[in-house]
Structure 1
Amino acid sequence: MNLLITSIGKRVQLIKHLKKSFRVVGVDSGELNPGKLFVSKFYKIPNANESGYLESLLDICEKEAIKVIIPLYEGEFEVLDKEREKFENVGTVVLLSSEKIIDICKDKEKTFKYFLNSEVNIPKVYCENEIEEIIRYGDIDKFPLIIKPRDGMGSNGVYKVNNFSELKFFKEYLKDGIVQEYINGEEYTVDVLVDLLGNPIYVIPRKRLEVRAGEVVKSSTVKDQRIINETVKVIEYLNKLRNNDGLALMGPLTIQFFKKNNRDIYLLEINPRFGGGVPLSFEAGADYALKIYEMLQGNKLGYIKDFKEITMLRYEEAVYI
């Protein structure tokens, strides 16, 4: 079965895993990338915001008889979601959650508003009036705060704000940012795979031990049942957003939490894609490739709860061309 992944860049471990069950075709807007040396076939295509992007992908899917396409870059999600029918017409499934879920996950203020009245704890996002009041009335008890891009990825552009001067500066510096309650605690990333109907197959928490340039370099899988339970709550609540075709969650997700004082658990953000540290979950026993293959075959899949507790220490490796 042929699978296509986009924006392959340096996602070599992911490619190697998917090749266990698929012939993997990779595409990227850049010719000079290590991922192209590990896929079965590589194509250079335009950026998602450039003319010819969609047409190039559709041509490749038809030419290579692609059964499923999995996008890795958020900038492509909206285009691919809107054009699902065109891909279906050439026999390709777009393994991506629905438009409403993509929109809520992309905008961190929308994430906060959606989960505000749910059973899931989420750090408060301050509206413009509340920020002005903090400054006007000298509400020092609100500090520290976090300011971050509304639609940012990883830890890029995320700043801890400790006082009024920093709040005024970063509020001006980060034009389309949000100001959020600061939660001090242990950070967990949960690798999730759901089937075509949004039912969980894998839910594997990873404790983030060290992050460099927004990417985890040291991490351990942990059988933390409270984190797992909160993740299942998030999945169930997002699945309320089914569209007219019955689509809600689909495929891979990466969900981040903070555990405060080893007690309260707060949802940080949701990304409807593979996380950078997902190879750890593969090694812990999560065979994403096989389960994606089986779901595309129409097999009924159950929730697999067992996995190994192991630690990942990442290092750089080079290829030479």
Structure 2
Amino acid sequence: MARLLITGAGGPAGGSLGRQLQGTPHAVVGVDMEPLSLDAEARFDRTYVVPAATSPDFLPRLRDLVRREAIAVVIPTVQEELPILAGVADLVGARVVISPSEAVWRAQDKLITAWALEQSGVPTPRTCALVSSSEGGDHAVPSPPMAFPFIVKPRTSRGGRGVTVVDSAAEWTREVLERPGQVVQEFADGAEYAVQVYVPSGGDDVTSVVLEKTTLKQGRVGNAEAVRRVSPEEDADVAAVATDAVLALGLRGPLDVDVRRDGRGAPVVLEVNARFGANSAYAPELLARLLEEWNMTGADPGST
């Protein structure tokens, strides 16, 4: 039996892992910025409130809990924590399920991700920075960098937060003035997928499970409100492009890759999350592989 600590225990990804680990011999501690609901708390053996990742108290609090609870493995699921923990993984006091620091940093920034994928030949929509120039203190609105519609989104964010489809010049002007420093990306209007990927430490024998997002929170974009698992034969090209993306970035462990089909029906990689995704319960192979690789094999983690 191992003692595990999962961050973001009240969120979709952390809560999903808590549910999957119920019924296994492992003791699971959940931590979050806010107190958990009774339902969420029931998924863990013990829960704690911790500061935000951006707080100087975050790492000291985490180290204290690792020591107090005799934690063997930390599984981070909060996006903002990833580059911090990747940089100090050897100082936490437990093994941390995280990719190498450089790979995490590249995946964290959506503009850098697009540059890296393009350089490696992995298909991704055309992506550029939203920059407004200024003369005499007045912001100058540049011409739209590509044909409408296109996406404007934060360079770093969680899930679908802040993603907007821009359909007109008026909307473009508003986005430039209100959201400088964002990312502009071609809008691939085909089916969208959340590909659940596991890359072992050696980088061989990658597991890729394709989940189609059947309903999106904001209609054309946003988090998935419903998904369905597709057969390996049905969308093999989607699995292949997601695998190419994570290997190109040098990522390891559990990963969540957003892929869409473009106007020609070809899959393109939108972004990569260097952690378990919100829908990993539909791909229990990922957690099973982690437990096996890290010598924590017990009862099989549950699926949806």
TM-score range, shorter chain: 0.7 to 0.9
Matches for 1:1-321 after TM superposition, within 5 Å: 1-10=2-11, 11-19=14-22, 20=24, 22-33=26-37, 34-87=39-92, 90=93, 92-127=94-129, 142-212=147-217, 214-222=222-230, 223=232, 224-239=235-250, 249-261=251-263, 263-282=265-284, 286=285, 288-297=286-295
CA offset at residue 128 of structure 1? 5.5
CA offset at residue 185 of structure 1? 0.8
* Alpha-carbon spacing, 1:138–1:99, altered in 2? closer, same or farther (3 Å): closer
Q: Does the aligned pair in 1 maintain the 2:229–2:282 contact within 8 Å? A: yes
CA offset at residue 96 of structure 1? 0.7
Q: Secondary structure at the match of 1:66?
A: coil
Percent same amino acid among aligned pairs? 25
Q: Secondary structure at the match of 1:179?
A: strand
Distance in 1 (alpha carbons) for counterparts of 2:16 and 2:46: 16
| Number of the residue aligned with 1:246 | none
CA offset at residue 145 of structure 1? 1.7
* Alpha-carbon spacing, 1:155–1:138, altered in 2? closer, same or farther (3 Å): closer
Once the two structures are overlaid, the 10-residue window that deviates more, 16-25 or 202-211, is 16-25
- The one-letter amino acid paired with 1:22 is H
- Give the structure-2-normalised TM-score: 0.83
Once the two structures are overlaid, the 10-residue window that deviates more, 150-159 or 249-258, is 150-159
Distance in 2 (alpha carbons) for counterparts of 1:127 and 1:216: 25
Deviations 1:14-57 (A, max 9, x none): 21212325211111121243422220121222222223221221
Q: Secondary structure at the match of 2:120?
A: coil
Q: Does the aligned pair in 2 maintain the 1:22–1:289 contact within 8 Å? A: no
Alignment coverage as a number of residue pairs: 282
CA offset at residue 235 of structure 1? 2.7
Distance in 1 (alpha carbons) for counterparts of 2:46 and 2:163: 37
- The one-letter amino acid paired with 2:33 is S
RMSD over aligned Cα atoms: 2.7
* Alpha-carbon spacing, 1:220–1:262, altered in 2? closer, same or farther (3 Å): farther
Q: Which structure is richer in relative contact order (CA contacts within 8 A, separation 6 or more)?
A: 2
CA offset at residue 99 of structure 1? 1.6
- The one-letter amino acid paired with 2:238 is I
- The one-letter amino acid paired with 1:77 is L
Q: Does the aligned pair in 2 maintain the 1:192–1:200 contact within 8 Å? A: no
Where do 5+ consecutive residues of structure 1 fail to align?
A: 240-248, 300-309, 313-321
Deviations 1:145-201 (A, max 9, x none): 211111122222111112222111111122321111122111111011222334454
Distance in 2 (alpha carbons) for counterparts of 1:290 and 1:191: 13
Distance in 2 (alpha carbons) for counterparts of 1:64 and 1:108: 35
Q: Does the aligned pair in 2 maintain the 1:21–1:290 contact within 8 Å? A: no
- The one-letter amino acid paired with 2:4 is L
Distance in 2 (alpha carbons) for counterparts of 1:162 and 1:131: 22
CA offset at residue 138 of structure 1? 7.9
Q: Does the aligned pair in 1 maintain the 2:132–2:142 contact within 8 Å? A: no
Deviations 1:111-170 (A, max 9, x none): 1111122221111123568999xx76788x722221111112222211111222211111
Q: Does the aligned pair in 1 maintain the 2:106–2:249 contact within 8 Å? A: no
Distance in 1 (alpha carbons) for counterparts of 2:153 and 2:17: 28
Distance in 2 (alpha carbons) for counterparts of 1:131 and 1:257: 32
Once the two structures are overlaid, the 10-residue window that deviates more, 271-280 or 206-215, is 206-215
Once the two structures are overlaid, the 10-residue window that deviates more, 31-40 or 105-114, is 31-40
